[in-house]
Structure 1
Amino acid sequence: MTDDLLGRHRSVLPDWLALYYEHPIEITHGEGRHVWDADGNRYLDFFGGILTTMTAHALPEVTKAVTEQAGRIVHSSTLYLNRPMVDLAERIAQLSGIPDARVFFTTSGTEANDTALLLATTYRRSNTVLAMRNSYHGRSFSAVGVTGNRGWSPTSLSPLQTLYVHGGVRSRGPFAGLDDYDFVAACVDDLKDLLGHTRPPAALIAEPIQGVGGFTSPPDGLYAAFREVLHERGVLWISDEVQTGWGRTGEHFWGWQAHARGGPPDMLTFAKGIGNGMSIGGVVARAEIMNCLDANSISTFGGTQITMAAGLANLNYLLEHDLQGNARRVGGLLTERLRAAAHVPAVREVRGRGLMIGIELTKPGTDEADPAAASAVLEAAREGGLLIGKGGGHDTSALRIAPPLSLNIAEAEEGAAILEDALRSIQ
């Protein structure tokens, strides 16, 4: 049955639509932190549909909210008043930390970042954008144009002039050998030098922790230091919170809060986890920025009633059960467990925060990326009953571990043991 489905997939869908595993699996259902495939195999899920099933599979509170809303009305567009959309927007505006915030809902993180770029370039009357090396912001034409990861950038054509800044990767690049203080100072000097050679940009867009890039991040405070330089020139800061938002890092509710000196960003984008699998994305911005468009605009599917009901239920559950605190506690344990197991020569680094953990693999004794090893560990983990992801700016050589935030200690220990065996298998 799965082989037949694979053949049908390949005959009708694009060749560039990637599938994991030598023998791809069809996931048919899930519960809690586990999923099952079409052959009845049960897996502990440490990737959550690319960080999207943030709370749990088949969470009763979300399932009930979706079912009840579907029984009333599923969709009406933004041309009509929409109570669930207003309710969720009020909650997100308050949680964002951005003063006089306005919220616009989309259906994905790509679309959210695309909207943020539209707002920034319109507000600033500039199509020059600063982005980070090793970054990823989505698959639309404009989002690809600010993506600093060659593996996810299929064209150099773009509506934007993008300039790439140092700092998103702490342990690689020309400043890797510096201590944190000097690293930040060097990146700031690089930014100032760059700005001296170009017309003032519209914005800097940056992920506090680079997701597709392999869960890399700068020292705390880098983006606050950048913001001081940018603010002097009127340049906006967009924090891409598509993967870091809603408490996943454990220490903070938003990734930007690790760089909080000087206050919140001018805009933040979100998606993935807030819907717990439903298609929700969005932008939060100060009113003057959000309201800068002077033409009509709507969102046919952004903010539709059924996704807003899911988002509200999921956000309530997340806050009421302190899943941010759980991410900090269980994520800390899982990270230490993985670091203790990372004596395999191929493991270059274990990094991350909360339940957002990366393991970078290289050819032993070198800094050369080893994507074949990453693929082998991915396969071995699946054989052991664990689903993980992969990424990285160096030929996809990092393992990405991001379970639902309700992960418990026993499941963390189980997953770490499977992953340790998978890592040993490639020696």
Structure 2
Amino acid sequence: MDRAEVLAKQSKYLTGISNYYQDPVVLVRGDGKYLYDSEDREYLDFFGGILTVSVGHCNPKVNKRIHEQVDTLQHVSTLYPTIPMVELAEKLAEITPGNLQKSFFTNSGTEADEMAVLLAQVYTGRSEVIAFRHGYHGRSQLAMSLTAHSPWRNGPTPVPGIKHAHNAYCYRCPFGLTYPSCDLRCAKDVEELIQTTTSGEIAAVLSEPIQGVGGFITPPPGYFQEVQRIVKQYGGLFISDEVQTGWGRTGKYMFGISHWGVEPDIMTSAKGMANGAPIGWTITTPEVAESFKGLTISTFGGNPVSMSAALGTLEVIQEENLVDNAEKVGNLLMDGLAELQKSHPMVGDVRGKGLMIGVEFVRDNKEPAPALTAAFLEATKKRGLLLGKGGLYGNVVRVVPGLNITPSDVTDALKIIEESLQEISVTI
């Protein structure tokens, strides 16, 4: 099919689909850090299918694992133990922080978060859960109820017992304060939220270490330590949603929450865990796991092919020292973007960690500038660079290349970004 046929069939036969760009890109091939469209145009991919392609498109080491598994055993369900599933579970128990040891596999981040909340409720015997404003946790009714980001709460969100605390959005502080003189007011406010909007007996708090869809909102030092202290005081568990921040994405550590020195009771992930194979994962402590006595199943959870893809992805990350690479190359990228911010007032904020960087576009007085953001993405696409978008107002560019990019890739991307900023500056 040519490009026109693909778009026509998408319009006729698919629903719930939205595309980036006024003129959608029909992608047909990927190779490492590059994507190619139906007209064989090459794009440097700095979005990775929403932080999912961790180690490059069609990575040969990961694909070798997948091919071997497809030819050996493709599916049996979790009713049978398999070698790839127990191998992966053992590996995850070795690399996760604290006493996280018992894994449950599903198909997506949505399901992983559902399982995490269920575990917390069963273990504590309580139902109420604290989530955070601007957060995103998936597309089921429970996940949308946990989400505090109106564009992604489609239809009713009837699940009761969920309360949303203020997040640590330092650029737009909900309390009008400035870090560090704020004394972490946003974190301390979690206690008043518990005291005034819940029974005072909560099951858990669920948080992304860095809010993904929310626009890569990155809390300051000390934030999660204070949140965890409060949650423990009221008998709840701490759940870290690592769907976007896991697997070395934030640099220095394998998981994002480790930047704040917090050991969660439950952790979830998906996306970059298997470099594009469908997967979801929930891990918890033996104590919490043992409280769950009922029957449950995920037909495709623990699928041998996805398990093998995850094992291959982890091998590449560890063997090629990509956690360190994310930190080092991420610092180059962050510094380059911060330097461009100085000469382009439309860039209001540059934030993030490692290779998870958000660039917030604004007009005067921090007014969100979604139209400028869209124009910027069009300009970068035209020059062969694919980026993401997020934020409540649609005004944050998400810069998230593969973990194995090089300094020269950063140089190429920054050149395109600078040219694109110059192009759209005339529209201000």
C-alpha distance in 2, partners of 1:116/1:96? 16
Residues 168 and 186 of structure 2 are in contact (CA less than 8 Å); yes or no, is this contact kept in structure 1?
no
Query: Paired residue for 1:424?
Result: 422
Are 2:105 and 1:101 aligned? no
The letter for the 1-side match of 2:225 is A
SS of equivalent to 2:238: strand
Query: Greater shift after overlay, 150-159 or 56-65?
Result: 150-159
Spell out the pairing of 1:235-274 with structure 2 (5 A cutoff): 235-260=236-261, 263-274=262-273
C-alpha distance in 2, partners of 1:125/1:413? 53
Query: Paired residue for 1:49?
Result: 49
Query: Paired residue for 1:226?
Result: 227
C-alpha distance in 2, partners of 1:180/1:204? 24
SS of equivalent to 2:171: coil
C-alpha distance in 2, partners of 1:425/1:139? 36
Residues 386 and 418 of structure 1 are in contact (CA less than 8 Å); yes or no, is this contact kept in structure 2?
yes
C-alpha distance in 1, partners of 2:24/2:103? 38
C-alpha distance in 2, partners of 1:52/1:189? 33
Spell out the pairing of 1:365-404 with structure 2 (5 A cutoff): 365-393=364-392, 395-404=393-402
The letter for the 1-side match of 2:408 is A
- Deviations along 1:214-234, one digit per CA (max 9) or x if unpaired, are 111111221111111111221
The letter for the 2-side match of 1:254 is F
| Shift, 1:341, TM fit | 1.5
C-alpha distance in 1, partners of 2:355/2:282? 23
The letter for the 2-side match of 1:213 is G
| Structure 2 unaligned blocks of 5 or more | none
C-alpha distance in 2, partners of 1:402/1:415? 11
| Shift, 1:383, TM fit | 0.3
SS of equivalent to 2:335: helix
Query: Paired residue for 1:208?
Result: 209
Query: Paired residue for 2:125?
Result: 125
The letter for the 2-side match of 1:87 is E
C-alpha distance in 2, partners of 1:385/1:352? 24
Residues 134 and 169 of structure 1 are in contact (CA less than 8 Å); yes or no, is this contact kept in structure 2?
no
The letter for the 2-side match of 1:305 is P
Query: Paired residue for 2:340?
Result: 341
The letter for the 1-side match of 2:258 is Q
C-alpha distance in 2, partners of 1:183/1:374? 33
| Shift, 1:351, TM fit | 1.0
How big is the alpha-carbon RMSD for the aligned residues of Structure 1 and Structure 2?
1.4
Query: Paired residue for 2:291?
Result: 292
Query: Paired residue for 1:314?
Result: 313
Are 2:407 and 1:409 aligned? yes
Residues 133 and 164 of structure 2 are in contact (CA less than 8 Å); yes or no, is this contact kept in structure 1?
yes
| Shift, 1:176, TM fit | 4.5
Residues 100 and 266 of structure 2 are in contact (CA less than 8 Å); yes or no, is this contact kept in structure 1?
no
Say if 1:300 and 1:172 are closer, same or farther in 2 by CA, change over 3 A.
Answer: same
| Structure 1 unaligned blocks of 5 or more | none
C-alpha distance in 2, partners of 1:192/1:88? 37
| Shift, 1:112, TM fit | 0.6
Runs of 4+ residues deviating >4 angstroms = none
C-alpha distance in 2, partners of 1:112/1:88? 16
Query: Paired residue for 2:326?
Result: 327
C-alpha distance in 1, partners of 2:260/2:181? 14
The letter for the 2-side match of 1:207 is E
The letter for the 1-side match of 2:404 is S
| Shift, 1:158, TM fit | 2.5
Say if 1:291 and 1:56 are closer, same or farther in 2 by CA, change over 3 A.
Answer: same
Are 2:32 and 1:18 aligned? no
C-alpha distance in 2, partners of 1:223/1:158? 28
Query: Paired residue for 2:170?
Result: 170
| Shift, 1:156, TM fit | 4.4
The letter for the 1-side match of 2:152 is W
| Shift, 1:292, TM fit | 2.6
C-alpha distance in 2, partners of 1:100/1:22? 45
| Shift, 1:288, TM fit | 2.4
| Shift, 1:139, TM fit | 0.9
C-alpha distance in 2, partners of 1:93/1:167? 30
C-alpha distance in 2, partners of 1:266/1:100? 7
Residues 170 and 179 of structure 2 are in contact (CA less than 8 Å); yes or no, is this contact kept in structure 1?
no
C-alpha distance in 1, partners of 2:142/2:172? 27
SS of equivalent to 2:189: helix
- Deviations along 1:118-154, one digit per CA (max 9) or x if unpaired, are 2112222333110111101111110100111112112
The letter for the 2-side match of 1:225 is E
Say if 1:113 and 1:167 are closer, same or farther in 2 by CA, change over 3 A.
Answer: same
C-alpha distance in 1, partners of 2:58/2:7? 26
Identity among equivalent positions (%) equals: 38
SS of equivalent to 2:366: coil
Residues 373 and 394 of structure 2 are in contact (CA less than 8 Å); yes or no, is this contact kept in structure 1?
yes
SS of equivalent to 1:182: coil
C-alpha distance in 2, partners of 1:408/1:60? 18
Query: Paired residue for 1:135?
Result: 135
C-alpha distance in 2, partners of 1:358/1:188? 22
Residues 121 and 203 of structure 2 are in contact (CA less than 8 Å); yes or no, is this contact kept in structure 1?
yes
| Shift, 1:183, TM fit | 4.2
SS of equivalent to 2:424: coil
C-alpha distance in 1, partners of 2:181/2:258? 18
